Amino acid sequence: MAVGGIGLSFTVDTSAVTPLFDRLRSALKKLDPHVANLVRNNIDELLRKDNLVVLVTHFNKDDMNSEICLYPSEGLLGITQAVFSKRYEDLLPSTLTELVVANENHKASK
């Protein structure tokens, strides 16, 4: 039995991540260069781990259409939350964060 005329189409939906990246890009321009570099390093780390965005594929067998949706990962949401709330210490590696917290606690106890 020959099957002819079967087509498969793909669409990509970036509507969940594009506005987030646009806002983050705009915020980076206004940050101190050291903080902006820290943000970029965190994003690079997520890219290396292949954990920047989450891909969700929806397939409709009736029309043979596959839609790929991109959503921000928890790591990316954490980075953007730290930037937008100006909690830059959240971007530091955990060992440095512990040092910052210990230093702040020491200052507060004086």
| Stretch (H or E) spanning 67 | strand 65-72
Residue 98 has pLDDT above 70, yes or no: no
Confidence of residue 21 (pLDDT cuts 50, 70, 90): very high
Percent of the chain with pLDDT over 70: 80
Residue 50 has pLDDT above 70, yes or no: yes
Q: How far is CA 41 from CA 12, 31, 64, in A?
A: 27, 14, 40
6 vs 102: CA distance, rounded Å: 63
Across the range 78-87, mean pLDDT stands at 96
Asked whether 90 and 33 are in contact (CB, 8 A), the reply is no
Across the range 76-97, mean pLDDT stands at 87
Beta-strand relationship, 65-72 and 9-13 = parallel
Q: Rg for the chain (alpha carbons), in Å?
A: 21
